[in-house]
Amino acid sequence: MPDLKITREFIAALPKTDLHVHLDGSLRIPTLIELARARHVQLPSYTEGGLRETVYTERYTSLGDYLKGFQYTVAVMQDAESLERIACELAEDNQAEGVRYLEVRFAPQLHVRPGLDAVSVIAAVDRGLRRARDAYNRRPEVAAGREPAFEYGIICCALRMFTPEFSRYYATLFDAHPYTRPKNLYAMASVDLARAAIIARDREGLQVVGFDLAGEESGYPAGAHRDAFEYAHKHFLKRTVHAGEAYGPESIFQAITDLHADRIGHGTYLLEADQIQDPEIEDRERYVDKLGNYIADRRITLEVCLTSNLQTNPKLRFLDDHTFRKLRAKRISTTLCTDNRLMSNTSVTNELWLAVKHLGLDRHDLKSIVIYGFKRSFWPGDYLSKRQYVRQVIDHYDAVERKFAA
Residues acting as catalytic residues: 245
Backbone φ and ψ for 156, nearest 5 degrees, come out as -90, 125
Nearest residue to 202 (alpha-carbon basis) of 225, 234, 242: 234
Distance CA 109, CA 158 (A): 8
**Measuring CA to CA, how many Å separate 279 from each of 54, 117, 205, 247, 276?**
41, 43, 46, 14, 8
Q: Pairing relation of β-strands 263-266 and 238-243?
A: parallel
3-state SS string for the chain = CCCCCCCHHHHHHCCEEEEEEEHHHCCCHHHHHHHHHHCCCCCCCCCHHHHHHHCCCCCCCCHHHHHCCHHHHHHCCCCHHHHHHHHHHHHHHHHHCCEEEEEEEECHHHCCECCECHHHHHHHHHHHHHHHHHHHHCCHHHHCCCCCCCEEEEEEEEECCCCHHHCHHHHHHHHHCCCCCHHHHHHHHHHHHHHHHHHHHHCCCCCEEEEEEECCCCCCCHHHHHHHHHHHHHCCCEEEEEECCCCCHHHHHHHHHCCCCCEEEECCCCCCHHHCCCCCCCCHHHHHHHHHHHHHHHCCEEEECHHHHHHHCCCCCCHHHCCHHHHHHCCCCEEECCECCCCCCCCHHHHHHHHHHHCCCCHHHHHHHHHHHHHCCCCCCCHHHHHHHHHHHHHHHHHHHHHHHC
Dihedral angle computed from the Cα positions of residues 375, 300, 92 and 351, in that order, rounded to the nearest 10 degrees? -110
